[in-house]
């Protein structure tokens, strides 16, 4: 129950949510909601682990995971962008498809034995900083450090670059973007692909770094859905996504650690005395997701902020939009 350890581990597990959430932010900013994050993460986790087992190279595993999940995301892209079908149902279908494929192809993978994982290391100098050093820069996975670099880049890209502006235009007002010569369809395909790749990376982060191994659907245990919820809490802003992801990661770790010690806050630990109470602890991340959604939705209503205006609607050229 050392708070430093819980926070450090929270940053580690939170990195999974961070990648998935950022990916979904990219897709939704272009106007495409992809509820298939859970399925894409499972495909990513399975293919990363599978490739790492057969080649011994975890980096290749992570790369293949990104590509495989990106490929899967294009099924959704084709159905909702070209065929203009309902994004909610298609995203659900993608979750089924992704978990089905990963279960079939991942058959027997859980018995693969020890493999080489993505490396953990400390950053010299930075790890010496009091408090922040041990939390953020001491023996974390390389994926965590990639997350530190990637999140601000994503924020800068979306808000301060020309392609980022195009991305936002396509999500807010596709007809106007089209009139400016931006290819709406191509842009949406591209960012759905980016979202898929990041979901795949999130999956690879689980199976090759944070919680190594392949445990069929328990590998992700609903984190893809939590990421979809975090996008709403983050109000489609990468920086808020960072806060939400790490907070959730720390919460998950806290729930595991709170059951250990016999004495808690100077009194007997009820979760130690009654181990079955841990089922109520297991509910907390999911209940917390709902609470976070309530906060996010209320804030959006109050500030009149919210989702990209064209989120969830197909763009049909020549039809009166919005």
Partner 1 sequence: MTTAPSTSTRKRALRLHIEPRLDEPPRWYPAAVSVGAIVIALVLGGILITFAGGDAVRSYLHIAKASFGSLGVLSDTIVKATPILLTTLACSVAFRMKQWNIGAEGQFIMGAWGASAIVLAPVLPAETSPWIFIPVMILAGMVCGALWGLIPGYLKAKFRVNEIISTLMMNYIAIAWVNFWVFAVWTEGGFQMSPKFPQNAWLPRLLDYSQKIPLFSGLTTHFGLVLGIVAAVIIWFVIYRSRWGYEIRLIGDNPQAAQYAGINITRNTILVMMLSGALAGLGGMSEVTGVIHRLQTTPIAAGYGFTGIIVAWLSKLNPIAAIFVSILFGALLLAGREIQPSGVPKMIQGVILVCLIASDFLLRYRVSITREEA
Binding site for partner 1 (CB under 8 A): 35, 39, 75, 78-79, 83-86, 88-90, 92-107, 216, 222, 225, 228-229, 232, 274, 276-277, 279-280, 282-283, 286-287, 289-290, 293-294, 297-298, 300-301
Comparing CB distances to partner 1, the nearer of 7 and 16 is 16
Comparing CB distances to partner 1, the nearer of 81 and 204 is 81
SS3 264: strand
Strands 120-121 and 140-141: antiparallel
Instruction: Kindly state the smallest distance separating residue 138's Cβ from partner 1, in Å.
Output: 32
Q: Which residue has the tokens 């790749």?
A: 197
Instruction: Kindly state the smallest distance separating residue 127's Cβ from partner 1, in Å.
Output: 36
Taking the C-alpha atoms of residue 220 and residue 72, their distance in angstroms, rounded to an integer, is 17
Instruction: Kindly state the smallest distance separating residue 245's Cβ from partner 1, in Å.
Output: 16
CB–CB of 211/13 below 8 Å? yes
Q: What phi and psi, each to the nearest 5 degrees, are found at residue 97? A: -60, -45
Comparing CB distances to partner 1, the nearer of 58 and 98 is 98
Q: How many CB atoms lie within 10 A of CB 126?
A: 13
Comparing CB distances to partner 1, the nearer of 76 and 253 is 76
CA proximity to 27, closest of 204, 243, 199:
199
CB–CB of 224/95 below 8 Å? yes
Instruction: Kindly state the smallest distance separating residue 303's Cβ from partner 1, in Å.
Output: 13
CB–CB of 41/69 below 8 Å? yes
Comparing CB distances to partner 1, the nearer of 11 and 206 is 206
Residues listed for the chain: 322
Comparing CB distances to partner 1, the nearer of 134 and 314 is 314
Comparing CB distances to partner 1, the nearer of 161 and 298 is 298
Instruction: Kindly state the smallest distance separating residue 33's Cβ from partner 1, in Å.
Output: 9
Instruction: Kindly state the smallest distance separating residue 278's Cβ from partner 1, in Å.
Output: 9
User: CA 293, 298, 304: angle at the middle one, nearest 5?
Assistant: 120
Which tokens in the block code for residue 277? 């109470």
Instruction: Kindly state the smallest distance separating residue 135's Cβ from partner 1, in Å.
Output: 28
Residue 227, Cβ density class (10 Å: 0-12 exposed, 13-18 middle, ≥19 buried):
buried
């Amino acid at each position: 129950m050392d708070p430093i350890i819980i926070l450090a581990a929270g940053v580690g597990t939170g990195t999974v949510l961070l990648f998935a959430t950022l990916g979904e932010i990219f897709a939704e900013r272009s106007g495409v909601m992809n509820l298939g994050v859970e399925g894409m993460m499972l495909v990513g986790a399975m293919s990363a682990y599978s490739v790492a087992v057969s080649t011994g190279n975890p980096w290749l595993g992570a790369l293949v995971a990104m590509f495989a999940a990106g490929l899967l995301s294009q099924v959704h892209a084709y159905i909702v962008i070209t065929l203009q079908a309902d994004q909610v149902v298609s995203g659900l279908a993608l979750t089924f498809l992704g978990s089905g494929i990963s279960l079939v192809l991942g058959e027997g993978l859980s018995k693969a034995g020890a493999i080489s994982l993505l490396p953990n290391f400390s950053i010299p100098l930075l790890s010496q900083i009091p408090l922040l050093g041990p939390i953020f820069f001491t023996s974390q996975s390389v994926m965590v450090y990639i997350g530190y670099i990637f999140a601000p880049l994503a924020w800068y890209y979306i808000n301060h670059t020309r392609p980022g502006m195009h991305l936002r235009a396509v999500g807010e007002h596709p007809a106007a973007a089209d009139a400016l010569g931006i290819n709406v369809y191509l842009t949406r395909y591209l960012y759905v692909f980016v979202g898929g790749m990041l979901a795949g990376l999130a999956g690879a982060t689980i199976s090759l770094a944070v919680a190594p191994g392949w445990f069929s659907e328990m590998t992700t245990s609903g984190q893809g859905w939590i990421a979809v919820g975090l996008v709403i809490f983050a109000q489609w802003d990468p920086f808020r996504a960072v806060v939400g992801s790490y907070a959730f990661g720390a919460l998950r770790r806290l729930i595991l650690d709170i059951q250990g010690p016999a004495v808690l806050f100077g009194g007997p630990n009820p979760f130690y005395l009654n181990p079955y109470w841990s089922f109520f602890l297991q509910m907390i991340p999911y209940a917390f997701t709902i609470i976070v959604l309530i906060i996010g939705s209320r804030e959006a209503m109050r500030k009149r902020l919210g989702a990209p205006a064209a989120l969830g609607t197909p763009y049909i050229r020549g039809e009166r939009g919005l």
